């Protein structure tokens, strides 16, 4: 098998699976009703925030989901300027999922030194779309949290390999802010923090 064919075979899963997810996103991004039971309440919460109302208020006024506010803070301006529509929140989640994919590909390429494993990893990320609840493009907080955690881990690995403070600061900001999107981000922050304390500060070994 020649080099070009090997490149194509590694790139094929990314093309196929990313194309399927893009098709699904384009097909349902403009659907005017909730695709999942939490979308509606999150849209109401974003609408309240966009118009100066409290998101976390007395129970007789509004009962919010037990989620941090970062996703709503980013969504509220879109709701303010574009109106209370689901497509803005779905677009925000899809962009976050693209960031996760890019961060994953960049991390794998840095660890392996080649594009083929990176393309395969990115293809697998999109390939599991239908097996993980198809929530990557929904009005949910998960995609934003995952994007921040993935980008933070990538920045941390970069800081270990290069020793540059800017990457460490970026990793702290991203990982430290990921729990503000969803509490699960604390697990990524804790894992990276423990790793940093227990493993000597030196470049990550190459395979």
User: 91 near 33, Cβ under 8 Å?
Assistant: no
Low-confidence stretches of the chain (pLDDT beneath 50): 207
CA angle 12, 18, 20 (to 5 degrees): 105
Q: Is residue 85 part of a domain?
A: yes
Give percent above pLDDT 90 in the chain.
67
* Count of domains observed in the chain: 1
Q: Is residue 206 part of a domain?
A: no
Q: Is residue 204 part of a domain?
A: no
Residue 207 has a pLDDT of 45
Q: Is residue 207 part of a domain?
A: no
**CA-closest candidate to residue 72, choices 94, 57, 99, 54:** 54
Q: Please give the model's pTM, rounded to 2 decimal places.
A: 0.91
Residues 12-28 have pLDDT tens digits of: 888 899 999 999 999 99
Rounded CA separation 151/170 (Å): 9
Q: Is residue 93 part of a domain?
A: yes
**Which residues constitute the domain of residue 119?**
3-198
Half-sphere exposure in the Cβ direction for 108 (13 Å, CA):
18
Residues 155-188 have pLDDT tens digits of: 998 898 888 899 999 999 999 999 999 999 999 9
Q: Is residue 45 part of a domain?
A: yes
C-alpha separations of 36 from 57, 95, 148, 202 in Å:
24, 19, 23, 45
């Amino acid at each position: 098998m020649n080099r070009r064919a090997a490149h194509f075979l590694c790139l094929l899963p990314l093309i196929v699976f990313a194309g399927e997810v893009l098709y699904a996103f384009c097909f349902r991004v403009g659907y005017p009703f909730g695709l999942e039971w939490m979308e509606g309440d999150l849209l109401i919460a974003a609408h309240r925030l966009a118009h100066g109302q409290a998101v976390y208020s007395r129970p007789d006024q509004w009962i919010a989901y037990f989620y941090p506010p970062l996703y709503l803070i980013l969504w509220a301006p879109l709701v303010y300027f574009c109106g209370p529509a689901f497509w803005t929140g779905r677009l925000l989640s899809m962009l976050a999922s693209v960031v996760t994919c890019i961060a994953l590909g960049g991390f794998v390429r840095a660890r392996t030194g080649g594009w083929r494993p990176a393309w395969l990893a990115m293809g697998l990320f999109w390939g599991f779309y239908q097996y993980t609840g198809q929530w990557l493009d929904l009005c949910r907080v998960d995609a934003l949290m995952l994007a921040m955690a993935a980008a933070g881990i990538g920045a941390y690995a970069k800081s270990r390999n290069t020793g540059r403070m800017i990457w460490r600061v970026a990793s702290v900001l991203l990982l430290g802010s990921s729990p503000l999107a969803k509490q699960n981000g604390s697990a990524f922050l804790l894992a990276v923090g423990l790793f940093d304390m227990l493993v000597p500060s030196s470049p990550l070994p190459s395979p």
